[in-house]
Structure 1
Amino acid sequence: MDTRPRTSLVTGANRGLGLEFIRRLLARGDHAIAACREPGRASALNALAGEHPGRLHVLPLDVADARSRAALAAELPLVLGDGGRIDLLLNNAGVLHSGERFGTLGEATLEHSFRINAMGPLLLTQALAPLLADGARVANLSSQLGSIAGCGRFGTPSYNISKAAQNMATALLAHALAERGIVVVALHPGWVQTGMGGEQATETVGESATGLLGVIDGLDAGDSGRFLDWRGEALAW
C-alpha cells in the first residue's frame, strides 16, 4: 500500500479560493505546492509556509506564459524529490473581465481570457503530465457560465467563452490521460464570495472549498470528463 502523503498542486493560490484550498490541503496532511505569479508578494502563502515547514512550497507561475509553465515543470522534480509525484492538480487560476458590452468587445480581452482560462490549464496539465501519479486527479475550476445549454443572457462574454473552451479541454484531457487512470473533471465552485465573485455571492470560500475537495475525493474512473458543481451535481454542457 502507498502510504506516502498526498501531494497537491494549486494554481492561482495566493488569494481567494486558491488560498483556501492550500489551507485545507495542509490541514488534512497533504504536501502542497502553491503556484502564483508573484510569490514574493504572497504574504499569506509565505506565512503558511513558515507554519508548515517542508510541507508547503510556493513557486512562481503565470499560466498564460509558456516559459513560466516550462520553468515550473523543470523545478518540480527538485521539490517532489526522488520518485515523487503529484496526486492532485487543481487548475484554479482564472480571470474575469467586467464591463464588456456587445458592440465594444475587444480582441485583447477575449484573447487574454482564453489564454488564462482555457489554454493555460490545458497546456499546464500537458506539461506536468509526466509528474502526475497514475490514478491522480486533475480538477479544472470552471463555471456554470461556461455551460452553453445554460446560457440565458448576454454577459461576461470573454469569461463564458473561455470557460466553455476549458470544458472541452477537460473532456479531451480525460481521454488523453485515461490509460493511466487519471481522472479529469470540470468543477463549478458556486457563486463564491471572492474578489471575482463579489460580496453578493451566495457561497463562502470555506463552503465552496470544502464541497469541492469532497467531490474530488469521491471521484472514480467513471467520473472522468464530467462537469460537476461543488455539491457533486452534474451540470449541462
Structure 2
Amino acid sequence: MSDAPLPRRCLVTGANRGLGLEFVRQLLARGDRVIATSRHPGRAHALNQLAGQNPGRLHVLPLDVAEPKTHAELARELPLVTDGIDLLINNAGVLHSGERFGHVAATQLDDSLRTNAAGPFLLTQALAPHLADAAKVANLSSMLGSISSVDGFHTPTYAISKAAQNMATVLLAQALHERGITVIALHPGWVQTDMGGKGAQVTPADSARGLLGVIDSATLADSGRFIDWQGNALPW
C-alpha cells in the first residue's frame, strides 16, 4: 500500500474521458481527493457530473499539457484547492493514427512531442514545488515507446514521443530522488478507449485498477522504472 496518508491528494491530467476519467472514478471511490484537468472543462460533462457528486473532493481545472503557459496557470491555482500533491498522474496524451512513411507530417510529430514528452516533463517541473516529499509521479507511457520492442513502422510520431517521455521519466526520477519522490513510466495495456480503438483487449476499469496497484506498491527503489499495468518490468 501507499505510505502516503489517506486521503491522498491526487492530480490527474487528461481526465475528461477514457483512462483519465477512470482514474478519477477509482481514486474518488477509495476516498482520495482529486484535481482533474481537461483542456476544455466546460465540455467535460462526465467529469463535471462526478464533481457535482463529490463536492469538495473533486476539483476540475483547465490545462493543456502542450502549452507551458497553462502549466504556470495551474500551478498558481493549486493553492486555492489543495495544500500539496501526493500523486501526480500524467495521463494526457495524443495519438495520430493512419501515419505512413513518406507522409508523416512535421506538424503531427511536433504535436506528439509537445503533448506526450515535453508536456509531462515540463508540467512535473512546474508542479514540483507543490509535490509532497515522498510523493509519486506516474507517467502514462506505452509499450510502443520501447525501442527494443519495435517490430514495424507503427504510429511513428506516438512511438518517438513515448520513447522521449521515457527518458523524461528517468531524468525526473534523478532530479526528484533526494526528496524521496518516486517517478515511474507505466504501460496501461491495449485499453478500450478512443485512443486504443477497436480490438483493444483491456477495459479502462481493469487497466486503472492494475495501474493504481502498481503505483501503490512502488517504492523509491522503483523510481525510473518502466512497468506495465500488471507489474511486469518492460524493456526500454
Secondary structure class of the residue paired with 1:44: helix
Structure 2 distance, partners of 1:191, 1:156, is: 14
Say yes or no: does 1:29 pair with 2:37.
Answer: no
Contact 2:15 2:21 in 1 (8 A): yes
Superposed counterparts of 1:191-230, under 5 Å = 191-230=190-229
Per the normalisation by structure 1, the TM-score is: 0.97
Match of 2:116 in 1: 117
Secondary structure class of the residue paired with 2:149: coil
Tell me which of 68, 78, 81 is aligned to 1:79.
Answer: 81
Say yes or no: does 1:57 pair with 2:78.
Answer: no
Could you list the structure 1 runs, at least 4 aligned residues long, displaced by more than 6 angstroms after superposition.
none
Structure 2 distance, partners of 1:15, 1:225, is: 27
Deviation (angstroms), 1:218: 0.3
Kindly provide the amino acid, as one letter, of the partner of residue 110 in structure 1: L
Give a deviation string over 1:39-80, Cα, whole Å, max 9, x none.
011110111011100000000000010111110011001111
Match of 2:45 in 1: 43
Structure 2 distance, partners of 1:161, 1:59, is: 29
Q: Let me know the Cα RMSD of the aligned residues.
A: 1.1
Match of 1:132 in 2: 131
Structure 1 distance, partners of 2:103, 2:38, is: 31
Structure 2 distance, partners of 1:3, 1:156, is: 40
The sequence identity of aligned pairs, in percent, is: 68
Structure 1 distance, partners of 2:156, 2:11, is: 29
Superposed counterparts of 1:95-114, under 5 Å = 95-114=94-113
Kindly provide the amino acid, as one letter, of the partner of residue 154 in structure 2: G
Across the two proteins, how many residue pairs are aligned to each other? Answer: 234
Structure 2 distance, partners of 1:29, 1:68, is: 28
Say yes or no: does 1:177 pair with 2:172.
Answer: no
Match of 1:19 in 2: 21
Deviation (angstroms), 1:33: 0.4
Secondary structure class of the residue paired with 1:190: coil
Deviation (angstroms), 1:4: 5.5
